[in-house]
């Protein structure tokens, strides 16, 4: 898991006024809340006084109030009030807590969990069709017990469709089956943060029941898919020249073995509102088929080298994804989860926020990261 990327923390709907929300991401706890203007904010959840859980507290004006002794923190992480000091008490600067940049878009609240300055940050994956004429969206949120890198790799895998999805493949019954040409879209066409590919495959008639109003005959689907950063995916399904489904999957690793997924599906067909529930049901039907497979993958984490798996040409973009991860390893952005686990009972860590570059003297330790050169050495030793 990495610092310095945007993570979906909640849907806009889930984040109601006057109620702090506890959200776990990359193995740490955060409090997400709205100020009096409705602006979303995200702070490290651990109170700098004596470790209270801020998300168990209350919203007071533009602040979240710790349930233990009532200290109040604003959206910038500044402590505004320490009740035990009395009305004239001066709040020491070192009480500040990490606050993370937040963007609320596409019906979701994203937090940037890292310390990069605004100009250095990778962007949230852009949803080009958002609020465009002729497009309509649905958003759904579900959980998987598994590792998010495994889940992203599932999205980049053209060969699983034939076996995992009866909506997309023939369940291994097609003797002629093979993976056709994959047209790779290397960075920079998708920006420096990802890679993708397009391919065409023959899909069967849609199954009865859950897929009532779909393809009644087999047909070619043109599908493009790729990743953006370590934790988001785009999948464009062109079922015909004018029937397009452009899906965006934003994943939040809760920890190394659990994921929360936010699937935003844009469509330019079946535009009536009454079709939304059907689209969600249909997407969930497919997502659940992936979920069953991802939850049983072993090891839970992808092996550190490709010699512990046997890759074939259809796995090409998965290898490209792993190369991208290595680039971010080399920047020193990977969290040292072994070290975090070792100290779990003794140390409350915080993901470093941008303010750590300006201010010294923070109460909470910054989370341990695997140094870029150490990541390279570890990789070398394992190969
Ligand atoms: S622990 Fe939060 S106010 Fe004391
Ligand atoms: Fe799938």
Q: How far is the CA of 57 from the centre of ligand 1 (A)?
A: 10
Q: How many of the other CB atoms lie within 10 Å of CB of 172?
A: 9
The CA-atom distances, in angstroms, between 313 and each of 155, 170, 230 are 16, 20, 21
Probe ligand 1: pick from 50, 58, 84, 363, max atoms within 8 Å of CB? 50
The CA-atom distances, in angstroms, between 202 and each of 171, 207, 237 are 12, 15, 12
Q: How far is the CA of 150 from the centre of ligand 2 (A)?
A: 12
Ligand 1 atom nearest residue 70's Cα: 3
Ligand 1 atom nearest residue 71's Cα: 3
Per-residue pLDDT at 210 exceeds 70: no
* Residue owning tokens 């009740």: 83
Out of 73-77, 265-269, 377-381, pick the least confident: 377-381
Q: How far is the CA of 325 from the centre of ligand 2 (A)?
A: 21
Q: Token digits for 218?
A: 């087999």
Per-residue pLDDT at 280 exceeds 80: yes
Q: How far is the CA of 191 from the centre of ligand 1 (A)?
A: 43
Task: Please indicate whether residue 220 or residue 94 has the higher confidence score (pLDDT).
Answer: 94
Burial of 24 (0-12, 13-18, 19+ CB in 10 A): middle
Q: Token digits for 45?
A: 């959840």
| Whole-number pLDDT of residue 252 | 98
Q: Which pLDDT band holds residue 379 (cuts at 50, 70, 90)?
A: low
Ligand 1 atom nearest residue 54's Cα: 2
Which residue has the least CA distance to atom 3 on ligand 1?
Answer: 69
Q: How far is the CA of 331 from the centre of ligand 1 (A)?
A: 35
Whose atoms come closest to the Cα of 68: which ligand? 1
In this predicted model, what pLDDT tens digit does every residue of 111-144 receive, in sequence order? 999 999 999 999 999 999 999 999 999 999 999 9
| Whole-number pLDDT of residue 173 | 75
Burial of 366 (0-12, 13-18, 19+ CB in 10 A): middle
Whose atoms come closest to the Cα of 348: which ligand? 1
Mean pLDDT, range 10-27, rounded to an integer:
98
| Whole-number pLDDT of residue 103 | 98
Distance of CA 118 to the CA centre of its chain: 19
Per-residue pLDDT at 87 exceeds 90: yes
| Whole-number pLDDT of residue 214 | 62
Which residue has the least CA distance to atom 4 on ligand 1?
Answer: 69
| Whole-number pLDDT of residue 133 | 97
| Whole-number pLDDT of residue 284 | 97
Which residues are near ligand 2, the ion (C-beta closer than 5 Å)?
A: 290
Whose atoms come closest to the Cα of 225: which ligand? 2
| Whole-number pLDDT of residue 48 | 98
Q: Token digits for 228?
A: 């953006």
Mean pLDDT, range 353-376, rounded to an integer:
92
Q: How far is the CA of 167 from the centre of ligand 2 (A)?
A: 10
Q: Tell me the torsion sign for CA atoms 29, 138, 235, 116.
A: negative
Q: Sheet of 102-105: strands edge to edge? A: 5-11, 108-113, 102-105
In this predicted model, what pLDDT tens digit does every residue of 249-275 receive, in sequence order? 999 999 999 999 999 999 999 999 999
Q: Report which DSSP code applies to 305.
A: S
Q: Token digits for 293?
A: 């497979």
The CA-atom distances, in angstroms, between 197 and each of 213, 244, 261, 283, 319 are 28, 17, 22, 21, 13
Out of 71-85, 109-123, 200-214, pick the least confident: 200-214
Task: Please indicate whether residue 125 or residue 192 has the higher confidence score (pLDDT).
Answer: 125
Judge contact between 286 and 167, C-beta under 8 A.
yes
Comparing CA positions, the residue from 286, 316, 311, 289 lying closest to residue 183 is 316
| Whole-number pLDDT of residue 40 | 98
Mean pLDDT, range 276-303, rounded to an integer:
96
Query: How far is the C-alpha of 71 from the C-alpha of 140, rounded, in Å?
Result: 36
Enter the pTM of the model. Answer: 0.95
Domains, the chain, ranges and CATH? 1-124+335-383 (2.102.10.10), 136-323 (3.90.380.10)
Residues with CB under 6 A from ligand 1: 47, 49-52, 66, 68-71
Whose atoms come closest to the Cα of 82: which ligand? 1
Query: How far is the C-alpha of 367 from the C-alpha of 350, rounded, in Å?
Result: 6
For residue 18, give every residue at least 6 positions away whose Cβ sits within 8 Å of its Cβ, in sequence order, or none.
34, 59
Q: What percent of the chain has pLDDT over 70?
A: 95
For residue 32, give every residue at least 6 positions away whose Cβ sits within 8 Å of its Cβ, in sequence order, or none.
9, 10, 15, 20, 21, 23, 40, 41, 42, 55, 102, 109, 111
In this predicted model, what pLDDT tens digit does every residue of 315-344 receive, in sequence order? 999 999 999 999 999 999 999 999 999 999
Out of 127-131, 239-243, 307-311, pick the least confident: 239-243
């Amino acid at each position: 898991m990495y610092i310095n990327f945007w993570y979906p923390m909640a849907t806009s709907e889930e984040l109601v006024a006057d109620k702090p929300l506890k959200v776990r991401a990359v193995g740490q706890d955060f409090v997400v809340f709205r100020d009096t203007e409705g602006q979303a904010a995200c702070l490290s959840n651990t109170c700098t006084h004596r470790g209270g859980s801020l998300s168990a507290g209350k919203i007071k004006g533009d602040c979240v109030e710790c349930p233990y002794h009532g200290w109040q923190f604003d959206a910038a992480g500044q402590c505004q009030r320490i009740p035990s000091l009395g009305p004239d008490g001066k709040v020491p600067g070192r009480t500040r807590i990490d606050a993370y940049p937040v963007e609320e878009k596409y019906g979701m609240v994203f937090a940037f969990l890292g310390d990069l300055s605004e100009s250095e940050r990778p962007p949230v994956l852009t949803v080009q069709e958002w609020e465009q004429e002729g497009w309509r969206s649905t958003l759904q949120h579900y959980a998987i017990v598994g590792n998010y890198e495994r889940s992203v790799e599932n999205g980049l895998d053209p060969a699983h469709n034939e076996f995992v999805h009866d909506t997309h493949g023939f369940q291994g019954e097609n003797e002629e089956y093979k993976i056709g040409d994959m047209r790779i879209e290397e960075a920079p066409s998708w920006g420096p943060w990802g890679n993708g590919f397009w391919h065409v495959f023959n899909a069967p008639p849609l199954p009865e029941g859950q897929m009532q109003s779909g393809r009644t005959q087999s047909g070619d689907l043109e599908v493009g898919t790729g990743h953006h950063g370590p934790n988001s995916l785009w999948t464009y399904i062109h079922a015909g020249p004018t029937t397009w489904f452009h899906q965006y999957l934003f994943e939040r690793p809760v920890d190394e073995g659990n994921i929360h997924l936010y699937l935003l599906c844009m469509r330019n067909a079946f535009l009536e509102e009454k079709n939304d529930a059907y689209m969600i049901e249909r997407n969930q039907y497919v997502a659940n088929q992936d979920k069953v497979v991802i939850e049983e993958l072993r090891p839970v984490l992808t092996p550190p080298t490709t010699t512990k798996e046997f890759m074939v040409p259809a796995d090409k973009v998965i290898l490209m994804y792993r190369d991208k991860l290595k680039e971010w390893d080399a920047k020193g952005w990977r969290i040292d989860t072994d070290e975090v686990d070792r100290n779990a009972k003794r140390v409350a860590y915080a993901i470093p926020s941008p303010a750590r570059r300006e201010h010294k003297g923070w109460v909470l330790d910054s989370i341990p990261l695997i140094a870029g050169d150490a990541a390279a050495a570890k990789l070398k030793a394992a190969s």
